[in-house]
Chains A and B, each alone.
Chain A
Amino acid sequence: AQSVTQPDARVTVSEGASLQLRCKYSYSGTPYLFWYVQYPRQGLQLLLKYYSGDPVVQGVNGFEAEFSKSNSSFHLRKASVHWSDSAVYFCALSATSGGNYKPTFGKGTSLVVHP
């Protein structure tokens, strides 16, 4: 069985501060990992993805994430947040072998950026 845990339901930061949103996964194989963002009343948009190779992956709008197999983590980071980054962020996992059609999402972390 696979699972994704986002331990922080809500994170509040000031504009210009650095950010880390945590994601822990559980999966016996090598996972495909994703971060999505959801702005109010909209669908989800892909921020970045990790399939293999360099454990630090770059995404849109200055976001990056680091994969750690030893820690089973895929934390999202940004050096300096903007008020427009306020949104809900979802970490997700997909299996590497065919036949698994149930991508697993974390419960999401609501990010509030104070101006």
Chain B
Amino acid sequence: AQTIHQWPVAEIKAVGSPLSLGCTIKGKSSPNLYWYWQATGGTLQQLFYSITVGQVESVVQLNLSASRPKDDQFILSTEKLLLSHSGFYLCAWSLGTGDYEQYFGPGTRLTVL
């Protein structure tokens, strides 16, 4: 069975500090991977997607970056956090090119002060 793990569960960070969030998928080779941001109130915003190792496409510009250093790992980062980065970050995977359902991780709650 496939499992998706996100770390950390929650973070409280200062404005201007760096950030690194991680996501690991086990039990599935070569998945498509996605990062989403969810503001308070619930609207989902897709941030990045990746269909293969080393290849990441940006969907929106939010002063964040993403990398896929391994087939089963997706990293979201920034060198300088903004207040607007606060929210809930969700990682997801799917089998194919967007035609398939997505499987979401448990999320990371980020509070920027």
Partner-B contacts on A (CB < 8 A): 32, 34, 36, 38, 41-46, 49, 88, 90, 92, 94-96, 98-103, 105, 107-108, 110
Contact = CB atoms under 8 A, between A and B. Distances in A.
22 contacts: A32-B100, A41-B107, A41-B109, A42-B106, A42-B107, A43-B92, A45-B104, A46-B101, A46-B103, A88-B42, A90-B44, A94-B98, A94-B99, A98-B97, A100-B98, A101-B57, A101-B97, A102-B98, A105-B44, A107-B42, A107-B43, A110-B42
B59 interface: yes
B49 A108 contact: no
Nearest to B97: A98
A67 to B, nearest CB: 15
Interface string B85-113: 00000101010111111111111010000
Size range of the interface on B? 20 to 34
Contacts of A94: 98-100
A75 B49 CA distance: 28
A34 B44 contact: no
Given A94-B98, A110-B42, A102 B49 contact: yes
B14 to A, nearest CB: 23
Given A43-B104, A44-B90, A102 B99 contact: no
